[in-house]
A and B are shown apart, each in its own frame.
Chain A
Amino acid sequence: EPEVTQTPSHQVTQMGQEVILRCVPISNHLYFYWYRQILGQKVEFLVSFYNNEISEKSEIFDDQFSVERPDGSNFTLKIRSTKLEDSAMYFCASSLSVFGGELFFGEGSRLTVL
């Protein structure tokens, strides 16, 4: 069964360092998303991406964040200068359609900022 894969599963970084989280969405999906979940809190929407551009982003997704689809398969989230409060589980998701379509989530990348 096709699935969304994410790497790394866990990354520990120093405050101020740049981090890139990688995702391989399901191959025929058209819409891509990043969500994050701070420990004990709810899953929060960060950004959606379609047709090689951001289609929607939340207030959390400030100038420190960027997304890219550098080739036909990878979808990346970059945090330019990490802060302690960026520590969270980051989930990538993809979907085939936008209206009521099922989002398929990856298993997440746990980011710990020290």
Chain B
Amino acid sequence: TQLLEQSPQFLSIQEGENLTVYCNSSSVFSSLQWYRQEPGEGPVLLVTVVTGGEVKKLKRLTFQFGDARKDSSLHITAAQPGDTGLYLCAGAMVVISGYALNFGKGTSLLVTP
């Protein structure tokens, strides 16, 4: 099982601050996805990155896939209380017989007003 390490595990910041969370692995992934999970709900996809070095923006969120496709980062600019949640990265493993997502443990973000 390829291991995905996410850091930091917990992050508590004030509204308006910037932050970056990281997702690292020793394995190469065909693609990497970022999800956000609210308490008591299933993960919801934010973005998929496929190409090494790829950068994608989703409003105040910027996602980057490492050149070697082993790591990724999520940067949030001017965080808002609505950004509070668990951010999960998931590496996609495509094998002959199918496909599976391997999740990291997540970064729990709390943004206070």
Contact = CB atoms under 8 A, between A and B. Distances in A.
Nearest to B31: A100
Given A99-B30, A100-B31, A100-B48, A45 B102 contact: yes
Interface in B86-113: 88, 90, 92, 94-95, 97-106
Contacts of B88: 42-43
Interface residues of B, number: 28
A107 B103 contact: no
A103 B50 contact: no
A98 B42 contact: no
B100 A43 contact: no
A4 B98 CA distance: 20
A98 B50 CA distance: 13
Contact of A43 (B43, B94, B97): B43
A55 B104 contact: no
Nearest to A98: B99
A92 to B, nearest CB: 8
Given A100-B50, A105-B44, A106-B42, A45 B31 contact: no
A109 to B, nearest CB: 10
Contacts of A100: 30-31, 33, 48, 50, 92
